[in-house]
Chains A and B, each alone.
Chain A
């Protein structure tokens, strides 16, 4: 069956909140009702009908033909079993607090993508902004489950306060990758710029290219790790280069000893 499709008519005149357009929240509504949903976040009204041509289809998959960097909160609180695909860019907080399901974005994503993700599989084919999978201001933990794969680059502070789940960045990562990491796993296949794993408690950061991690990370030698082989198998279909990285012998740097010191940075060298 055809997916439920929103075809973009024009660039939104303001930032829009797309959290209402997830399959469970669209269920049981007629096209007319959906077109009347208010998306604007200012006093000026922007309704679904103003932006999109709506074509009904199977609500298991919602498809956006055309994207915009003003598309905020796309797929927020998505439930398991559903999927959203965007043929274009998205704005801030894509997949925010998603419980499960699958979100694919063909273009770039803005800041706070996968923020607080609880179990969704999120794939961004382009680049992402800062605070990938991170918490919003005032929140104690970032992403707590699921898998996020970024084919391009990630902005600063990717994986901030990550608690659980897997983050794969196939391109470069900005400064302060994995800062305040609680647990979980981050893989970077490009270059990780500047400081890495600042105040990491017990998370794992796997880097294709090593570097100097400062005096609070301590070299623990190169090892064949069984867990990495399991991760490699699990990631093989989603990111072959990440699986290759995990299949290699990895040098373990224990840290950040400025805090717990139970975490690690693993590098292939």
Chain B
């Protein structure tokens, strides 16, 4: 493959392969930003990968009080799953266990999708018939009495099947510190892109996987081609100058959100350059036959 070099960083002539997902998003508000963020963090915890968590979720952005329906500080969280049924189950469970329980919280729909998930219409039953419904501007909300006042929740939340999951960047550097520095810069650039999240811890995954395993019954296992410690003993993708590889996985409500997030991340890495950050950037795919969305790195370059 002919390599492309920008600001000293080698960019693989490769592409990220992504899949359609069911995506939904909610706005959580609270009396202050701390508790809005806490509710969103708890709700999006243990949601790194659909393989083991049932969904992928993360914080899209903080929403200032002027922009929220009730004038309180808010946080927008996005949740993605492989089917609308999974998304519904995960969202209702997570709202019930993580947001309903979080002091001061209220929930609003922020996605205008083709489908709707009954959220408040399910959680209202916690009110044991003391709950009250209110319709404002053609949207139904539920007031559920709880110990700190009222949990306020929109009846239905939008869901779109046009979401995309699996956009990714493989960031390769000389050592852990430099690679992490570049990857963190990319994650904070991606944070600024609307409608996209990086669901892994701090937006970063260090255990990239390949399809299949030597063990029976395991569908995925370590991506040995990108493990620096196996460079000599396996069919490695890494040259001698690479000591660490980190990956960013991106889910977005739209195809374009994922593209823009990848672009933002890639630009941040290139801007930092190889001395401070990464030497090389790649992307993961399965040969292009499995996922309908392809994001070629060379098309995202500055």
A residues with CB within 8 A of B: 119, 145, 164-166, 183, 185, 202, 204, 223-227, 229-234, 262, 264
The answer to whether B132 touches A204, judged by C-beta atoms less than 8 angstroms apart, is: yes
The answer to whether B71 touches A227, judged by C-beta atoms less than 8 angstroms apart, is: no
The answer to whether A230 touches B130, judged by C-beta atoms less than 8 angstroms apart, is: no
B130: which of A183, A229, A233, A262 is its contact (CB, 8 Å)? A262
The answer to whether B132 touches A145, judged by C-beta atoms less than 8 angstroms apart, is: no
Give the distance to chain A from B123, nearest Cβ to Cβ, in Å: 14
B residues with CB within 8 A of A: 29, 31, 69-72, 106, 129-130, 132-138, 141, 143, 149-150, 152
Q: State in angstroms the CA–CA spacing of A166 and B136 once bound together.
A: 8
The answer to whether B150 touches A227, judged by C-beta atoms less than 8 angstroms apart, is: yes
The answer to whether A226 touches B106, judged by C-beta atoms less than 8 angstroms apart, is: yes
The answer to whether A229 touches B72, judged by C-beta atoms less than 8 angstroms apart, is: yes
Q: State in angstroms the CA–CA spacing of A164 and B134 once bound together.
A: 8
Q: State in angstroms the CA–CA spacing of A68 and B137 once bound together.
A: 31
Q: State in angstroms the CA–CA spacing of A183 and B131 once bound together.
A: 12
Q: State in angstroms the CA–CA spacing of A202 and B135 once bound together.
A: 13
The answer to whether A230 touches B69, judged by C-beta atoms less than 8 angstroms apart, is: yes
The answer to whether B152 touches A230, judged by C-beta atoms less than 8 angstroms apart, is: yes
Give the distance to chain B from A165, nearest Cβ to Cβ, in Å: 7
Q: Which residues of A contact B106 (CB under 8 A)?
A: 226
B interface: dominant SS = strand
Give 27 pairs: A residue, B residue, CB < 8 Å, sorted on A: A119-B138, A145-B135, A164-B135, A166-B136, A183-B132, A185-B134, A204-B132, A223-B149, A224-B31, A225-B143, A225-B149, A226-B70, A226-B106, A226-B149, A226-B150, A226-B152, A227-B141, A227-B152, A229-B71, A229-B72, A230-B70, A231-B134, A231-B136, A233-B69, A233-B71, A234-B136, A262-B132
Q: Which residues of A contact B70 (CB under 8 A)?
A: 226, 229-230, 233
The answer to whether B141 touches A165, judged by C-beta atoms less than 8 angstroms apart, is: no
Q: Which residues of A contact B150 (CB under 8 A)?
A: 223, 225-227
Q: Which residues of B contact A119 (CB under 8 A)?
A: 138
Give the distance to chain B from A263, nearest Cβ to Cβ, in Å: 8
Q: Which residues of A contact B72 (CB under 8 A)?
A: 226, 229
Q: Which residues of B contact A166 (CB under 8 A)?
A: 136
Q: Which residues of B contact A231 (CB under 8 A)?
A: 134, 136
Q: State in angstroms the CA–CA spacing of A204 and B132 once bound together.
A: 9
Q: State in angstroms the CA–CA spacing of A230 and B134 once bound together.
A: 10
Q: Which residues of A contact B132 (CB under 8 A)?
A: 183, 202, 204, 262, 264
Give the distance to chain B from A202, nearest Cβ to Cβ, in Å: 6
Q: State in angstroms the CA–CA spacing of A85 and B295 once bound together.
A: 55
A interface: dominant SS = mixed
Q: Which residues of B contact A145 (CB under 8 A)?
A: 135
Q: Which residues of A contact B129 (CB under 8 A)?
A: 262
Q: Which residue of B lies closest to A226 (CB)?
A: B152
Q: Which residue of B lies closest to A254 (CB)?
A: B130
The answer to whether A230 touches B149, judged by C-beta atoms less than 8 angstroms apart, is: no
Residue of B69, B70, B143, B150 most packed against chain A (CB within 10 A) = B70
Q: A183-B133, A230-B70 are in contact. List 8 more A-B contacts (CB 8 A).
A: A164-B135, A165-B135, A166-B136, A226-B29, A226-B143, A227-B141, A227-B152, A231-B136
Give the distance to chain B from A197, nearest Cβ to Cβ, in Å: 14
Q: Which residues of B contact A233 (CB under 8 A)?
A: 69-71
Residue of A164, A229, A262 most packed against chain B (CB within 10 A) = A229
Q: Which residue of B lies closest to A164 (CB)?
A: B135
Q: State in angstroms the CA–CA spacing of A92 and B138 once bound together.
A: 27
Q: State in angstroms the CA–CA spacing of A224 and B130 once bound together.
A: 18
Give the distance to chain A from B266, nearest Cβ to Cβ, in Å: 39
The answer to whether A230 touches B136, judged by C-beta atoms less than 8 angstroms apart, is: yes
The answer to whether A227 touches B130, judged by C-beta atoms less than 8 angstroms apart, is: no
Q: State in angstroms the CA–CA spacing of A145 and B140 once bound together.
A: 12
Q: State in angstroms the CA–CA spacing of A119 and B70 once bound together.
A: 23
Q: Which residue of A lies closest to B71 (CB)?
A: A229
Q: State in angstroms the CA–CA spacing of A231 and B134 once bound together.
A: 9
Give the distance to chain B from A148, nearest Cβ to Cβ, in Å: 14
**Closest 9 pairs (CB-CB, A-B):** A226-B152, A229-B70, A230-B70, A226-B106, A234-B136, A227-B143, A230-B69, A227-B152, A229-B71
Q: Which residue of A lies closest to B140 (CB)?
A: A164
Q: Which residue of A lies closest to B137 (CB)?
A: A234
Q: Which residues of B contact A164 (CB under 8 A)?
A: 135
Give the distance to chain B from A257, nearest Cβ to Cβ, in Å: 13
Q: Which residues of B contact A185 (CB under 8 A)?
A: 134
Q: Which residues of A contact B137 (CB under 8 A)?
A: 234
Q: Which residue of A lies closest to B145 (CB)?
A: A220
Q: State in angstroms the CA–CA spacing of A165 and B140 once bound together.
A: 11
Q: Which residue of A lies closest to B152 (CB)?
A: A226
Q: Which residues of A contact B141 (CB under 8 A)?
A: 227, 230
Q: Which residues of B contact A262 (CB under 8 A)?
A: 129-130, 132
Q: Which residues of A contact B136 (CB under 8 A)?
A: 166, 230-231, 234
Give the distance to chain A from B215, nearest Cβ to Cβ, in Å: 51
Q: Which residue of B lies closest to A183 (CB)?
A: B133
Q: Which residue of A lies closest to B29 (CB)?
A: A226
